[in-house]
A and B are shown apart, each in its own frame.
Chain A
Amino acid sequence: MKKFLIRSLLQIIPVLFLISLIVFVLVHVTGDPVTLMLSDTATDEDRAILIKALGLDQPLYVQYFKFLGHLVQGDFGNSFRYQEPALPIVLERLPASFELAISSMVVATLIAIPLGILSATKRNSFLDVFVTGGAVLGKAMPSFWLGIMLILLFAVHWGVFPVSGQGTFAHLVLPAITLGTGVAAEMTRLIRSSMLEILQQDYIRTARSKGLLERIVIYKHAFQNSLVPVITIMALQTSHLIGGTLITETVFSWPGMGNLLIQAVNQRDMAIVQAAVFVVSILVILSNLLADLAYRVLDPRIKYN
């Protein structure tokens, strides 16, 4: 276990290294940071001074190693909108994004587990057709449109929930449903197919022939085992979930990292953009690692080596 953990953590390093290279190439080679930073009235002289000050006259590999050196210390430079180091600004917004992501996961699980099990056990019934149809629809609907429709009905028309903002539980309901629906659609489909596969296994037939209650066969024997692939694939969905928070936060003016990032992109505040990319990438990598661990804990047949 320890060995596995250490090896997995070590494997993260080259991936982070590559991400840093990709970001460096994008920002420093394809983009033009000088033009982004200078005002329209700047002279060629100002330009030359800034190029020298930023060290952009040095060879690319020197620039990259300097960039890497700052990065290891968590220094992404100052945000020119806030005039403060970028990383703390990004980290400050993380809890709000977590709140949204976790509650939408809860919503998704509450919808997906019962529906997935029911549609697998009652295969080809009306309910099954309804659930699988709903799952496809959930996948086809753009989440931001769903969010707008929910605002239209529940906030504007019926006035049950607030239109936007953060604070109370009521503020959380619509964003969590918006983001949770897409995840629920994917999760329901997975639980259903995983359950269908398991229900055909010999040990389920044995459990049934022993005369166990159908409820016990389904929940204790089938469902628990069907979770193994589901959990792995759900963790791989984290990156999808984070992408979803970006848009959902914008729709509901949720004060999370997504909202910050979209503003930063619009204002070309590259320090914030880079810091956010790194924070998110590390989160995604760690959640993949957690999935790997969960997979091994849930299914003891998988060896650590």
Chain B
Amino acid sequence: MSAPMETQVSPSVLATKSNRPSNLVRFSRQLFKSKTGTIGLFIVLCMVLMAVFAPVLAPHDPAKTNVAKRLLPPVWMEKGTSDYPLGTDNLGRDVLSRIIYGSQVSLLVGICAVVVAGFIGIILGLVSGYYTGWLDSVIMRTTDAFLAIPNILFMLVILAVMGPSLLTLIFVLGVTNWTTYARIVRSEVLSIKERDFVRAARAVGAKNFRIIFTHILPNVISSFIVISTLSVATTIILEASLSFLGLGIQPPTVSWGGMLSDGRQYLATSWWVATFPGIAITITVLGIIFLGDFLRDILDPRMKAKGGK
């Protein structure tokens, strides 16, 4: 939040500044001080690497069926083989390979949906907070209406109308989750626009568009980073829920929610098919929550006091 101040630093301040460690060094020092932050970053990095290098890491083709090897148990159980460390599903597909490939969809949908939601929310929040008046009322009442319909219900309506697909899913998760961003950005803008540097910009004749995008926007980014990290976590759970209900990612694309739904029918005999994808979701979401909480503590200490809401 000190960005606008730094344009006018005196030479003496600059001299001391160059002796200070860079932002990245300071950030990593703080990160390694926080146990949960380190764990969170580690988990998130592992998941990203897993998604990117899935073709190299996966021991088998995730879609390759092999009826002779259907419902094989994990390696540590009787009849388990090291060929299929986490066992196979009802069609003889390798559970481990499917989990590795499933991370691609989870992260892709999680991140893209948050970008869409963030884009809509930030724009509406900026406009609503900056202009106030009737435009603000319309945007805020729309936000209320969106908040009154539970997200999942909203998603179901859109999915019922448009039919499930990867793009629809990203769109659906994006257009239903923008309200948080709009509200928080708006409340930040309301206070930022009264600050001296905005008044100064206005006094020298800067246009509204320029004030919003070059002076106000950079100051709301840190809150955006905090909320969006945590919302990647909820989005991943939502995507898994929809895929579980058969309304999200459609086969043959592998998704953790879809795997859970398949495995559910074989619970009585083969517990591993439904158990491992759930563990994968839980670990990923935990990692993101840890990282998000850490970012919140660093970037926005005020939110820590409020308990993050």
Contact = CB atoms under 8 A, between A and B. Distances in A.
Contacts of B275: 149, 152
Contacts of A19: 145, 148-149
Interface residues of B, number: 47
Nearest to A247: B241
A264 B307 CA distance: 39
Contacts of B158: 26, 30
Given A26-B158, A273-B156, A242 B150 contact: yes
A141 interface: yes
A41 to B, nearest CB: 20
Interface string A117-144: 0000000000000000000110111111
Interface stretch (B11-19, B127-135, B188-196, B266-274): B266-274
A19 B237 CA distance: 25
A30 B160 CA distance: 11
A261 B260 CA distance: 21
Given A142-B282, A152-B274, A270 B160 contact: yes
A22 B282 contact: no
A277 B149 contact: yes
B278 A149 contact: yes
Given A27-B157, A148-B274, A189-B307, A240 B150 contact: yes
Given A31-B162, A142-B241, A270-B160, A15 B148 contact: yes
A148 B260 CA distance: 9
A74 interface: no
A22 B145 contact: yes
A23 B260 contact: no
A208 B128 CA distance: 47
A144 B246 CA distance: 13
Contact of B309 (A233, A242, A268, A280): A233
Contact of B233 (A140, A145, A148, A276): A140
Contact of A277 (B157, B264, B268, B282): B157
Contacts of B244: 142, 144, 247
A50 interface: no
Contacts of B156: 246, 261-262, 265, 273
A193 interface: yes
Given A136-B286, A144-B260, A149-B278, A280 B245 contact: no
Contact of A15 (B141, B161, B264): B141
Contacts of B150: 239-240, 242-243, 280, 284
Contact of B157 (A26, A190, A193, A246): A26
B124 interface: no
A284 B247 contact: no
A246 B309 CA distance: 25
B151 interface: yes
A26 to B, nearest CB: 5
A273 B160 contact: yes
B281 A145 contact: yes
Contacts of B154: 277
B148 A277 contact: no
A241 to B, nearest CB: 9
B28 to A, nearest CB: 23
B267 A152 contact: yes
Contacts of A284: 148-150
A15 B149 CA distance: 10
A156 B263 CA distance: 14
Nearest to B146: A22
B241 A144 contact: yes
A136 to B, nearest CB: 6
A211 interface: no
Interface of B: 141-142, 144-154, 156-162, 233, 237, 240-241, 244-247, 257, 260, 263-264, 267-268, 271, 274-275, 277-278, 281-282, 285-286, 289-290, 307, 309
Interface of A: 14-15, 18-19, 22-23, 26-27, 30-31, 136-137, 139-145, 148-149, 151-152, 156, 189-190, 193, 233, 239-240, 242-243, 246-247, 250-251, 261-262, 264-266, 268, 270, 273-274, 276-277, 280-281, 284-285, 288
Given A23-B157, A265-B159, A284-B148, 13 more contacts: A15-B144, A15-B145, A141-B278, A142-B281, A145-B274, A148-B264, A149-B275, A152-B267, A239-B148, A261-B153, A265-B247, A273-B160, A277-B149
26 contacts: A19-B145, A26-B158, A27-B161, A30-B158, A136-B289, A139-B285, A141-B281, A142-B240, A142-B281, A142-B282, A144-B244, A145-B260, A145-B277, A152-B271, A193-B307, A247-B244, A250-B245, A261-B156, A262-B156, A262-B245, A264-B160, A265-B247, A274-B157, A277-B154, A280-B149, A284-B148
